[in-house]
Amino acid sequence: MADFFTRSGPGRPGLALFVNAGDPPLDALPDLALALDEQGTDCLELAVPFPDSVTDGPVIRRSARRALERGTGLDEVLECLAGFRPRLRRLRVALLVDWSHSLKRRDHAAALGEIAAAGADGVLVHALPPRLRETHLAAAGHAGLPVVSTCYQNSPDRVRARAAADASGYLYLVAHYGRSGTAPAAGHGALAGTVAGLRSLTSSPIAVGFGVRTRQDVQAVAACGADAAVIGSAGVARIESALEEGRDPVRALGAFVRSVQPVRSLAPTPNRS
């Protein structure tokens, strides 16, 4: 099983970056992934773009639209991933795939096998119908593909317990119910009780996202007891600005990561597929 996150001390959680494959254009993705790897980012949450997500804010929806207009689909993303994954030293790749847009018309087990073969370290299926939960978990297990599960801070106890039980890669705790890019009113530190409760239900890492924009936000996530912070809209916005201004989006995202990442020693680790 992949080790998704490395905590190197108090206030220094792991870091995951969300990016829509195809935004920037897919031929820039290898350089982007390698740059994140070099900077010590733990995980790339790589989304196969899909339209009109009700949980995404305007920044990520615009990004997905640009990627879709470039013709980015699951096959293209897997081909690209297979090309650069062997070159990564520590960065893990969790592939986010929408069930309706990318998986509904495919054989589910075969598709997960293809995702694993391309080098993904884990999979998060967006909007998976509840009736397919057991089928999905069995197929992922057969493919040797760790599952990333999600729940909200205000999800019912039974939903949080199910998400904790399903998480074999990591558990993504969404900081509040709303659209991506928005932060919880009470701050990320107020999630400590929820994180502690989830910790008693799973041995998998717990990552917290939504509204994480600054180094202070990342440190607040660490203070609530989570293993990692997930940054989405704030990083995607830097890519968008760079594209609009004719700047290098890889360099722009790299500068943003340096601005939010707590300083920590980065000892190289062997590539474990």
Active-site residue list: 45, 56
Q: Which of 8, 10, 16 is nearest to 257 (CA)?
A: 16
CB 4 within 8 A of CB 14: yes
CB 78 within 8 A of CB 50: no
Among all chains, which residue has been given the structure tokens 């350089």?
31
CB 25 within 8 A of CB 70: yes
- The token pair at 194 is 């929820």
Quote the CA–CA distance of 119 and 77 in Å, as a whole number: 11
Quote the CA–CA distance of 103 and 125 in Å, as a whole number: 9
Q: Which of 141, 221, 136, 122 is nearest to 173 (CA)?
A: 221
CA 93 to chain centre: 8
The three-state secondary structure class of 232 is: coil
CA atoms within 13 A of residue 88's CA, in its CB half-sphere: 29
Quote the CA–CA distance of 155 and 161 in Å, as a whole number: 10
* Residue 124 burial (C-beta neighbours within 10 Å; 0-12, 13-18, 19+): buried
